Amino acid sequence: MGFLFTRHSHGSGPEHYTSEVNGLVFEIYPMTTKSTPTAGARIGFRVDSVDETLDLLIKAGAEVVSPATDSQWGRRAVMKDLDGHVIELVEQLIEPPIDPRISLTLRVRLKDWTDVDAACYCIAIALGVAPDHGDKWDFWGGKKGMFWSNNPMGNGFYAVLEMLAETGVLEKDEEEMRFRWNPRFDWASFGEERTIR
C-alpha cells in the first residue's frame, strides 16, 4: 500500500508504528491482554456528517467510544465495530476566516480534549517556537514528526504538558493520550505552596 512506518510514542504511552500519507494517518498499536487480535489497528474515515453516520452505525450495533464533538480536526467521533475495532469518524467543519492578529491562549486552544500531538504543538506555539495560525489547525507544515516521535524538542513539549496536568492546569486522559484545559483551574486560588517539579 506504500506506507512507510516510523516508531512513535507519547510520553509513557505504548510505542507504536505510524505512517502519514496524503493526509491519512495510519497507526498500529501493540496488542494488549485486553485487546482482540486486530483491535490494535485504528482506522479513520472522513464523512459528510459524523452525527448521521454515527446514528446509522449505532443502529447497526456499533458502540460509541467518544461521542461526536467539535475538535481541531472537525467534528469527530470514535466508535467500536461489532468485532471490537476502533474507528474514528471525522467531518470537516467549515472554518471562519482567520484574523491574522489572533493569538489564541492555551486555555482557548485546549478547551476541548486534544490529541497529545496537537497539544504539544499548542505548547510550541505558546512558547513562540512554532508559527501561530490563529484557530486554523492545518498547522504541521511538514513537521508533525517533531511532535510524535522520540526527540529532544518533542519530548520537552510533552514534559510541559505533563507538568501542567500534574499541577491541575490541564486534565489528561491516559487511555486516549489527550489533554484539555481544566475548567476548574482557578489562577486566583493557585497558591505558592504548589510547585512544578
User: What is the Cα 175 distance to its own chain's centre?
Assistant: 12
Which class for 196: exposed (0-12), middle (13-18), buried (19 or more C-beta within 10 A)?
exposed
More confident residue, 69 or 29: 69
pLDDT for position 59: 93
Residue with cell 517556537: 129
- CB within 8 A of 164, min separation 6: which ones? 170, 179
Is residue 73 within 8 Å of 90, Cβ to Cβ?
yes
pLDDT surpasses 50 at 150: yes
Tell me what percent of the residues of the chain surpass a pLDDT of 90: 19
pLDDT surpasses 80 at 22: no
Is residue 4 within 8 Å of 19, Cβ to Cβ?
yes
| Structural domains in the chain plus CATH codes | 6-91 (3.10.180.10), 106-189 (no CATH)
pLDDT tens digits along 59-100: 999 999 999 988 767 788 999 987 788 888 988 766 544 444
pLDDT surpasses 50 at 195: no
> H or E stretch including 53?
helix 50-59
pTM over 0.85: no
Strand partners, 64: 79
